[in-house]
Structures are given as structure tokens and as C-alpha cells.
Structure 1
Amino acid sequence: MTLSSISSTLSRRPGIRLGLLLAAPLTWLVLVYVVALAALLVTAFWTIDSFTNELERTFTLDNIREITGEALYRTVTLRTLGVALLVTLIDCAIALPVGFYMAKIASRRSRHLLVIAFLMPLWASYLVKALAWRSLLSHGGLLDWAGGLVGLGSPGFGFTAIVLTQAYIWLPYVILPVYAAYERVPDSLLDAAGDLGARPALTFRTVVLPLVVPGLVAGSIFSFSLTMGDYITVNIVGGANQMLGNLVYINSGSNLPLAAAIALIPIVVIMIYLALVRRTGALENL
């Protein structure tokens, strides 16, 4: 078969053309993501022999009973959920006004500069950003010095430091979808609401916000899921606090089935979160 015949066949059959285009990424997705999750699920129901320290591939619910029965895992799960929710709320609260200014108020040149400014942190290493916040939050750091001018001090390392650091790291992932959602809101709707006598707060709540919710949901999915699975920031600025990612990392070397069982917790939480979001219909408008 010649190249011309192949080309004509593909031009006449868009389904085949689409299938060939999607074959490579779908294969990669299935192998790297779906198969990995399936292996994780299976491993969670295995165990480690306490005498030989070897993996026993026999079905057991011991790991599930351990993570649901011990107070340690409940405490760490609640702490991880609290951090993820706070980080998401902080980023959404910042993204809503910043995105509106970028899309509807700023000049074209200022808009481009702001987009570049929010994209620039993504060019830096995750580890560099976390270590920079460790320097800011440490005793004698910039926050400690600035707070001392008004009688305050740095929050130091701990729960607050984790929230602040991760809110900064994931902020671009929330601002950019919200900014894109604002750009899709027609200016004519804002003008029409103003002509009908609606105050700015009422216009935002009844006209703009419903159209921006899909972008806000997309950003919240990024910040929530990335925070749920993070463990590096906690090691750097978390002090004695631990999150689920740390427990997975600690147990992955000595007790892989237990680590897999712990890893199922954020997966289940994120799936519940996506199911709740899907019921609102926001995902259908992304």
C-alpha cells in the first residue's frame, strides 16, 4: 500500500485517524496509570511475613483493618484533609479577585505580564520553592524579622507552615483555570447587568460566579489532589507533623502492602470529591 492510498484512506475515515492519534497516549495512560492503580489495589491486600520479611501474596484484610482501626491513621487522615481543604480555600480566595482583575480590568500588557508572573514559579524546582519557604519561616528569617516590627513572629515549622507553603506552590494551578474561565465570560453580560441596575456584588454573584464555577472547580481539583499526595513539603517545613504521603513513603521500604493500603486513602477521598463535584454539573462545563 502506497503512502497516497494510506493518506486517502485516513482522509475518508476520520474515526481511524482519531484512533491512531489517540492510540499512543491512551496506551501510555493505561500502562502507567490504570495498571499502576490496579497493582496498588492488589498489593494492599497482601502482607509481609514477620519472620522472613518477605512478601506473601495471599489475600488478607489485615492492612485495611489496621489503617481503619488505629488512631494514628485517623489522625493523619484528618490532618491531611484539613491541610488540603485549607490550601484549596486559600488559593480559591486569592484566584477569584486576581483572575477577575487579570481578565476584565487589567490592560492587555499588564495581563500578559501577570500571566508570566504566575507562570514563572512553575519554572522553578518544587524543592527550591519549598526550601525558600523554609528559609522564610525559620527563626531569624524574613517573616520573623518583618513580624518583629509589629510585635509578631514567624509561625515557624508546623501545620501553618505546611498550609502557607503548599498554598503558594499550588496557587498557579488555581489562578490559571479561573483566569481562563473569566475570559470566557462575555463583557456584554456585565454591561447588561449594569444597565438593568444590578450592583457589582449582585452582578458577580448571579452572573459572573456561575460561569466561573467550572474553572474554580478545575483549579480546586488540582490544589486538593496535589496537596493530598504531597510529602516533600511536610518533611521540609512540617516539623513533627505527618501527612498520608509521609506514611506511604516511610512504609514503602519496609512494608509495601501497608504503604499501598495507606495510599488508597487519598485515592478514595479524591474519588469522593470528584463524585461530589460531578453531581454539581461543574465538570460537564469544563
Structure 2
Amino acid sequence: MTTTAQGAPPASPAGGVRRRVAAGLHRHAGLRLSLLLSAPLAWLGVAYLGALAALFVTAFWGTDPFTGELVRVFTWANFRDLVTGEVYRTIALRSVGVAAAVTLIDLVVAFPMAFAMAKLASPRAQRWLVIAVLTPLWASYLVKAYAWRVMLGAEGLLGWGYGLTATVLTLAYLWLPYMILPIYAGLERLPGSMLDAAADLGARGGRVFRTVVWPLAFPAVVAGSVFTFSLSLGDYIAVKIVGGKSQLIGNVVYDNIGAANNLPFAAAVATVPVLIMLGYLAAARRTGALENL
């Protein structure tokens, strides 16, 4: 066996290739990042963007009125029915109103809770409070929704709220942690010295909130609102459980996939929340909040 002057065996060709590849990746950070992200980006493109593309294509198909079979012929009929049907416009506006109400309720409840967690609680208490906020997420969605039905049903403690009010309250409870945690993370980064300086300069609590706390916490509020708004806009289970005869966009999609067996129209309806969320994200981006997250 051939050895070097020091008695060590010669390096194998495979080892030399590995070293050259490692050295190349070390010199080119962009290439290294691209390789690391290639698998998740490929999964995103296939599973998520591919599904959205299939949804959009299906929305331009139709169904045979006699057999109910899918007809793969391009048509605008689904979108025409969606735009001209007053009932669908009402459902879309109702869905946006419910999502906005849930987001506003969660903001009002979450902000003082997040502020207390970030600025008033001790480090040990912060950990326990974060666990307390996360604990409801460990329970089943259906268990929590039916618990609210017990309270808000006709025979419940708050029977007056059964219907659309119950839907808003249930969704606000379900998505509250998604508003608390981003605001808490944003407020935790707020230097306490800024609050002390504002107080030393004579600013009252309201002015400190308007000029110091709110501007710095606004990106976190936007992040939380994206979660609560989008989750409420696409939900269809809660309204089935506690909403009575109320209908939201998600219910229309579900009903056309199931009982009506009209997949193309369901796909057309499903594009509505997608477009609404694109508009919501564009508006949030114009505020500059997303760039500061």
C-alpha cells in the first residue's frame, strides 16, 4: 500500500471532490442558501401553488346539468353567476364583516394582555403566561366550538347570541392566541428605556401609547391581523356549529362540493377569499408594516 512521506494513506478522489464542493459552497453563500431552500420551495410550488393553479383552472369549467359530470370546457358562467347573484355578494360582504369583527375583538383583548406579558410580568411569569396562551391550541377545534355552542345555544347560558353573534364570538376565542403572540413578540422588543424617557419628559399614558407604543407595535398588530382575518374569512365549521342559518363563504364552497356536487362553482367561490387576502396583504404592505416585521 502506497503511503505519503508521513506514512498516511493518500487522499481518495471522493474526499477531494467533497472538499472542493464544501469550499465552493463556503465561498458562495447564495448558492448554499439556494440549495437549502430548494426542497421546501419545491414542496411549496407543487403542494400549494399547484393546488391554487388547479383551483383557478377548475373555476373556468362547468358541469353537465343532467349527469352532473365535470365538463372541461372554458366558460365564464361560474364567475358570472357569482358576480350577478345578489345572495353571493351578501355572503361575501358578511364574511368580510365577520373576519373584520373577529380581528377587532381579538386586537382589543390581545393588546393589553400582550403588553402585560411583555412589560409588566417577571421573566418567570412570562414563560407561564405564554404557556397559558398556547394551552387552548392543544385542545381540539371541535371540542372548543361545541363548548361555545353549549353556552350560546338556545338552551345555553347566552342563548341570545346564537347565530352570527355566536360565530363572531367563537372565532374570536379560537384565533385569539394568534393575535396575542405576535403582539407580545413585538412589544418584547420595545426598549423599556423609551417608556421611561417618555414618562420623564412628562408624557401621559395616552400620549406614550400613541407616539411610542403603538407605532412600534403596529407591525406586530398587522402580523396578528393577517392570521385572525384570513382564518376567520375561510372558516366554515364554526358557523355550522354555532351560526344557525347564517352562511359564510366557506359554507358556500363546502355545500357546492358536497350536496350540490358542483366543483367548478365551488372553485370559483373559493377564489373570492384568495383575492380578498391578496388585497388585504397589498394594503398591509403599503403601510410598510410587513417590511418591519
TM over 0.5: yes
Q: Does 1:40 align with 2:55?
A: yes
**In 1, Cα distance between the equivalents of 2:263 and 2:269?**
10
Report how far residue 140 of structure 1 moved: 4.0
Give the SS at the match of 1:155. helix
What does 1:267-282 correspond to in 2, within 5 Å? 267-282=274-289
Point out the more displaced range, 219-228 or 30-39. 30-39
Give the SS at the match of 1:63. helix
Q: Does 1:108 align with 2:123?
A: yes
Report how far residue 37 of structure 1 moved: 0.8
Q: Which residue type is aligned with residue 232 of structure 1?
A: I
**In 2, Cα distance between the equivalents of 1:164 and 1:274?**
24
8 A contact 2:154–2:162 mirrored in 1:
no
The aligned residue for residue 152 of structure 2 is 137
Partner deviation per Cα, 1:48-80 (whole Å, 9 max, x = no partner): 111232211111110001011111101111111
The aligned residue for residue 257 of structure 1 is 264
Report how far residue 95 of structure 1 moved: 1.3
Query: In structure 2, which of residues 71, 79, 92 is the aligned counterpart of residue 77 of structure 1?
Result: 92
Point out the more displaced range, 165-174 or 122-131. 122-131
Query: In structure 2, which of residues 236, 245, 267 is the aligned counterpart of residue 240 of structure 1?
Result: 245
Query: In structure 2, which of residues 31, 40, 50 is the aligned counterpart of residue 25 of structure 1?
Result: 40
CA RMSD in angstroms, aligned pairs only = 1.3
CA shift in 2, pair 1:110/1:154, >3 Å: farther
The aligned residue for residue 178 of structure 1 is 183
8 A contact 2:219–2:290 mirrored in 1:
yes
The aligned residue for residue 217 of structure 1 is 222
The aligned residue for residue 69 of structure 2 is 54
Q: Which runs of 5+ in 1 are unaligned?
A: 145-152
Q: Does 1:16 align with 2:23?
A: no
The aligned residue for residue 157 of structure 1 is 162
The aligned residue for residue 167 of structure 1 is 172
**In 2, Cα distance between the equivalents of 1:52 and 1:90?**
46
Partner deviation per Cα, 1:186-213 (whole Å, 9 max, x = no partner): 1111111111111111011101100000
Q: Which residue type is aligned with residue 145 of structure 2?
A: A
What does 1:87-126 correspond to in 2, within 5 Å? 87-126=102-141
Give me the TM-score of the superposition, normalised by structure 2: 0.91
Q: Which residue type is aligned with residue 197 of structure 1?
A: G
Q: Which residue type is aligned with residue 202 of structure 2?
A: G
8 A contact 2:91–2:249 mirrored in 1:
yes
**In 2, Cα distance between the equivalents of 1:49 and 1:140?**
44
Report how far residue 156 of structure 1 moved: 4.1
**In 2, Cα distance between the equivalents of 1:184 and 1:264?**
37
Q: Which residue type is aligned with residue 98 of structure 1?
A: M
**In 2, Cα distance between the equivalents of 1:154 and 1:17?**
59
Partner deviation per Cα, 1:136-182 (whole Å, 9 max, x = no partner): 222443xx1xxxxxxxx432420010000000000000000000010
Partner deviation per Cα, 1:251-283 (whole Å, 9 max, x = no partner): 113100000000011111111111111111111
**In 2, Cα distance between the equivalents of 1:140 and 1:154?**
6
Give the SS at the match of 2:67. coil
**In 1, Cα distance between the equivalents of 2:161 and 2:211?**
41
**In 2, Cα distance between the equivalents of 1:47 and 1:168?**
39
Give me the TM-score of the superposition, normalised by structure 1: 0.93
Identity %: 58
**In 2, Cα distance between the equivalents of 1:155 and 1:30?**
46
